[in-house]
Amino acid sequence: MIHQTIIETSSHGPIVLIWSKLNGRPQIVKIIISCPTSPTDRKTTELYPGITYASCPEIDSICSEIVAYLTGKEIKFSLELLRLETCLAFQKTVLLAGYAIPHGSVTSYGLLAAHLGKAKASRAVGTALATNPFPILIPCHRVIRSDRTLGGFGGGLQMKRALLEAEGVTFDKTGRVANHHLHYQIP
C-alpha cells in the first residue's frame, strides 16, 4: 500500500513524501515538491489515485530533518530509506554523484558528466537530475549550468535559488552563482 506524508512548509509550499513498506520497513518512493505550475496535491493524486495519509517514526524523522534543512540547518540526509533501485543505472549513478556535492557547494552539469567519465553527457546528466525522484534529500539543486546560471529545478528557479542561498551560495548582480570553485572541478 502506498502512503503519503505531507510536510507543510511556510516558504516553499507543501512537500509530499510518497512511501510504502517493504519487508516491514518504510521506503520512500518519491518526493513531490511544490511547483508554481503544478501544486503537490494535484501531482500526488494524478500519480497515485486513492493514496492514503499515514506516517511512522522513520518517516516523521525524515520530515523533521527536511524542515530543519529548510530553516537553514546543514543536514546530510541518509539514503537508507530511499528506493534507489527504482532508478535506471545511469540515473542512480548521477544521483549518487549529486548526493556527494557538499552543502554550500555547486557543480555544473558538464563537470558532473566529466566526473562520471562521460564528458559529452551533460544533457543526459541534466535529464537524470530533472527526473530525480528524491529532491532535497538528493540535492539536485546544487547542479547549475556551466555559465553559472541556475538551469532548471522541479520546484522552480526561485526555490532553487532560495535553497542555494540558505546553504550560503552567493549570486552576482546578473543572477549567476558567484562562488569561484565548482565541485568536481579540477583545481
The mean pLDDT value for 12-33 works out to 94
Domain match, 151 and 116 both: yes
What is d(CA 159, CA 163) in angstroms, rounded to the nearest whole number? 6
> How many domains is the chain partitioned into structurally?
2
pLDDT of residue 10: 65
Instruction: Record the pTM.
Output: 0.94
Whether residue 46 sits in one domain with residue 106: no
For 118, the domain range is 87-166
The pLDDT value given to residue 34 = 86
Domain-located, residue 45? yes
| Per-residue model confidence as pLDDT tens digits over 140-153 | 999 999 999 999 99
Q: How confident is the model at residue 136 (pLDDT cuts 50, 70, 90)?
A: very high
pLDDT over 70 at 49, yes or no: yes
Note whether 48 and 18 are within 8 A (CB).
Answer: yes
- Indicate if 160 and 111 belong to the same structural domain: yes
Q: Which of 35, 63, 87, 140 is catalytic?
A: 140
87 carries an active-site annotation: no
97 and 161 part of one domain:
yes
pLDDT at 100: 97
Residue 9 has pLDDT above 80, yes or no: no
Helix H, strand E, coil C: the string for 43-109 is: HHHHHCCCCEECCCHHHHHHHHHHHHHHCCCCCCCCCCCECHHHCCHHHHHHHHHHHCCCCCCCEEH
Do 26 and 59 fall within a single domain?
A: yes
Helix, strand, coil percent content, the chain, rounded in steps of 5: 35, 20, 45
Residues 91 and 162 in one domain: yes
Inside any domain, residue 81: no
What residues contact residue 41 under an 8 Å CB cut-off, 6+ apart?
14
Answer yes or no: is 156 within a domain.
yes
Say which DSSP state 9 is in.
Answer: -
183 inside domain: no
